[in-house]
Chain A
Amino acid sequence: MESASIAPQAAPVTETGDKGLKKNAISYLSSIVIGVASTAPGYSLAATLGFVIAGVGLQSPAVLWVAFIPMLFIATSYFYMNKADPDCGTTFSWVTRAMGPSLGWLGGWAIIVADIIVMANLAQIAGLYSILLFSPSTDPDSVILLTTAIGVVWIVIMTAICTIGIELSARVQQFLLGAEVLTLTAFAVVALIRVYSGNALDTAVTPDISWFSPFAIDSTSALIGGVLLSVFIYWGWDSAVTVNEETEDSSSSPGKSAIVSTILLVLIYVIVSTAAIAFGGPDQLSDSDDVLSILGTQVFGSPLDKIIIIAVLTSAAASTQTTILPTARTSLSMARAKAMPAYFGKIHPRYLTPHVSTLWMGGLSILWYVGLTLVSTNILYDSLAALGLMIAFYYGITGFACVIFYRKDLFKSIKNFFFIGVAPTIGAVMLTAILIKSGVDLSDPANSESGTAWLGVGPPLIIAVGFMVMGLVLMIFWRAREPEFWRRRLETYDESIHGGAGAEEVVDNG
């Protein structure tokens, strides 16, 4: 360690070797919890389940597991792209390298837009559940203004938290997230026991094996629409895969906790949705954005029903870490690549966060949320469908980017072939198919929640296409002003540049 020079890597790291094993055991459990919780299952279910049920009714559990398949395949591309280039621009950075600056730029734009849209949903759920916590019998339609006001306060608080960079200690976080998972499980168990013992609602239905079969859905459009919505509930899971691999000690079996948390997550979604539908019957839950609070009261009774509301609120708060933060980092990454004004790349000297990006994200979310509420409250569903289109787009191109980026390494081993070739391709093709099919379906105004037509087309498609056109215009404008980023050359995986563990195989640990 030379005193006169700047030595960035010279930080002394105190190793506590004997603590290694214990630490590893804890990190295994905690990475399972983080893996499950980074998708915010409570909030995701609260926001989505009612609309999925509206589309496919009793087959909602089937849709929830089917939607996981493309996500699983795309997650492998995330994992291996992150290995070569752990850039916070993710899709933006990776697609730029593999498929060129323009597509990369649009991918980054889609991430930012998706975040702004989801913030409105997040705020809506948080606002509504905050009210329900104190006044459980409130009719959501009677408190729209109050819900919006509380929702805006939520966005402000969450933006402030991300700007200042406040972090709960890992242990507190794990406790909260673990409690959320336990609450959901308790809800499902109690609801199912009451269904089978005949103590559920009059509208209750006994679960049937056909609930889990996607083939029992008679309309392909309904299935695809449901999958598009459900893609959203697995959103965020991909980053858990990468984190998992990092927190895990390399000597233990890497990826094991990722697999366990994945199975747990799918099980939670399938079982909770089954329990909810069985207990309440599909008609009562259809189109509702407070499924869990209605059922929580009926399943647990007062005051225990509060725990499910608290779980959803905790979940909404937790998901900010997996939405605002990565998105602010996307614009930071784009700014540093000169794909956006340098202004967005500013770092706060005291908090070390990309505060300009974060504050813009919060401001635009509030603008979008309030604007949306003023136009129509029914549009919440429509914006969720639009969000699904955005996610399908940028996940899809990430899958293709992985195959293209690693194309010279695909045939070096069978593992390579499947993990960085076949899996990402299947995932990308599935998501592209969903994107196209939904795009066509959603162009019919009858398939939207608001039932209205904007320019003769359904609102979800207009929202999605509108944002992409806006992105295109901004991109062309910025390219004319600052062409440097667009001179970038395409890259493929090169071990000497992108690292790797020195093995000839890219995939070393399944």
Chain B
Amino acid sequence: MADELVVGYDGTDGSDAALDAAIPLAKDLGAPVLLVFGYMPPGQYVSENKDHIEAVREMGEKVTGEAAARVREAGVEVSVELVPEPSAEALADTAKARGARMILVGSYGERPITGAILGSTPHRLLHLSEVPVLVVRISD
């Protein structure tokens, strides 16, 4: 389905900021929302990680389920996709494959160096994505 607004959603305040921006935008554009959660945890050098990945996936399923209900309540069509990739890759790849209109992600407004240490998803996404990215700064 083309024209979707892809929202990177993981239940954090940053992702809520992105979702809050996406809902009115989706209404204005008449576009559906696709919530994407990348559930590949860090530390893949150790391979015995089935449980860890499942735990992350379950958490993603729960938070995106709750968010999807919120979007639906606002009268916007919504779907969810859980992707077994790190978050930035998950968003870029999914948005491209689905021909999405744009990607919305939240930002904590960290300084670049902090973002680099903590692994800033928006920062990575800007380099990876072929689909336009809208970065929504969390309100202070």
Chain A positions within 8 Å of B1 at CB level: 3
Question: CB < 8 Å: which of B43, B52, B63 contacts A167?
Answer: B43
Cα–Cα, bound, A82→B97 (Å)? 33
B19: shortest Cβ distance to chain A, in Å? 14
Which residue of B has the minimal Cβ distance to A81?
B48
- B80 CB–A CB distance under 8 Å: yes
Question: CB < 8 Å: which of A12, A173, A347, A354 contacts B97?
Answer: A12
- A57 CB–B CB distance under 8 Å: no
Whether A3 pairs with B34 at a CB distance below 8 angstroms is: yes
Whether A352 pairs with B45 at a CB distance below 8 angstroms is: no
Cα–Cα, bound, A321→B10 (Å)? 25
Whether A347 pairs with B55 at a CB distance below 8 angstroms is: yes
Cα–Cα, bound, A350→B16 (Å)? 12
Cα–Cα, bound, A14→B59 (Å)? 26
Whether A9 pairs with B84 at a CB distance below 8 angstroms is: yes
Question: CB < 8 Å: which of A85, A322, A325, A345 contacts B55?
Answer: A345
Number of interface residues of B (CB under 8 A): 45
**A82-B47, A86-B48 known; A11+B41 contact, CB < 8 A:** no
Which residue of B has the minimal Cβ distance to A14?
B93
> Interface segment, A112-120, A262-270, A328-336, A456-464?
A328-336
Chain B positions within 8 Å of A259 at CB level: none
For chain A residues 4-60, which have a beta carbon within 8 Å of chain B?
4-14, 34, 38
Question: CB < 8 Å: which of B14, B44, B46, B119 contacts A322?
Answer: B46
- A207 CB–B CB distance under 8 Å: no
Chain A positions within 8 Å of B51 at CB level: 87-89, 93, 329, 332-333, 336
Cα–Cα, bound, A28→B117 (Å)? 29
Chain A positions within 8 Å of B59 at CB level: 347, 349
Cα–Cα, bound, A54→B32 (Å)? 71
For chain B residues 15-50, which have a beta carbon within 8 Å of chain A?
32, 34, 39-50
Whether B41 pairs with A86 at a CB distance below 8 angstroms is: no
Chain A positions within 8 Å of B113 at CB level: none
Whether A349 pairs with B42 at a CB distance below 8 angstroms is: no
- A1 CB–B CB distance under 8 Å: yes
Question: CB < 8 Å: which of B4, B42, B50 contacts A165?
Answer: B42
The B interface is mostly helix, strand or loop, or mixed, namely: mixed
Whether B46 pairs with A326 at a CB distance below 8 angstroms is: yes
Question: CB < 8 Å: which of A10, A34, A86 contacts B81?
Answer: A10
**A8-B82, A90-B48, A352-B42 known; A1+B55 contact, CB < 8 A:** no
Whether A1 pairs with B97 at a CB distance below 8 angstroms is: yes
Which residue of B has the minimal Cβ distance to A82?
B48
Chain B positions within 8 Å of A173 at CB level: 45
Chain B positions within 8 Å of A5 at CB level: 79
- A314 CB–B CB distance under 8 Å: no
Chain A positions within 8 Å of B97 at CB level: 1, 12
Whether B81 pairs with A239 at a CB distance below 8 angstroms is: no
Question: CB < 8 Å: which of B10, B54, B81, B84 contacts A350?
Answer: B10
Chain A positions within 8 Å of B34 at CB level: 3
For chain B residues 68-107, which have a beta carbon within 8 Å of chain A?
79-85, 90, 93-94, 96-98
A267: shortest Cβ distance to chain B, in Å? 23
Whether B61 pairs with A166 at a CB distance below 8 angstroms is: no
- A208 CB–B CB distance under 8 Å: no
Question: CB < 8 Å: which of A6, A321, A333 contacts B46?
Answer: A321
Which residue of A has the minimal Cβ distance to B97?
A12
**A167-B43, A326-B48 known; A8+B54 contact, CB < 8 A:** no
Chain A positions within 8 Å of B41 at CB level: 165, 347, 352-353
Whether B42 pairs with A353 at a CB distance below 8 angstroms is: yes
Cα–Cα, bound, A93→B63 (Å)? 28
Question: CB < 8 Å: which of B14, B52, B83 contacts A11?
Answer: B83
**A332-B55, A347-B56 known; A164+B46 contact, CB < 8 A:** no
Whether B11 pairs with A325 at a CB distance below 8 angstroms is: no
Chain B positions within 8 Å of A7 at CB level: 81-82
Cα–Cα, bound, A117→B48 (Å)? 22
Whether B46 pairs with A165 at a CB distance below 8 angstroms is: no
Which residue of B has the minimal Cβ distance to A336?
B51
B119: shortest Cβ distance to chain A, in Å? 7
Whether B94 pairs with A239 at a CB distance below 8 angstroms is: no
**A86-B50, A242-B48 known; A11+B85 contact, CB < 8 A:** yes
Which residue of A has the minimal Cβ distance to B4?
A3
A/B interface sample: 19 pairs, CB < 8 A: A3-B4, A5-B79, A7-B82, A8-B82, A11-B83, A12-B96, A14-B93, A86-B49, A88-B49, A165-B41, A165-B43, A167-B44, A239-B46, A239-B47, A243-B46, A329-B49, A347-B55, A353-B41, A354-B52
The 10 closest A-B pairs by CB, nearest first: A165-B42, A12-B97, A11-B83, A352-B41, A333-B51, A3-B79, A88-B51, A8-B82, A242-B47, A88-B49
Which B residues contact A (CB, under 8 angstroms)? Answer: 1, 4, 10-12, 14, 32, 34, 39-52, 54-57, 59, 61, 63, 79-85, 90, 93-94, 96-98, 117-119
Q: A167-B119, A329-B52, A349-B10 are in contact. List 9 more A-B contacts (CB 8 A).
A: A1-B98, A86-B49, A88-B52, A90-B48, A162-B43, A239-B48, A329-B49, A347-B41, A349-B59
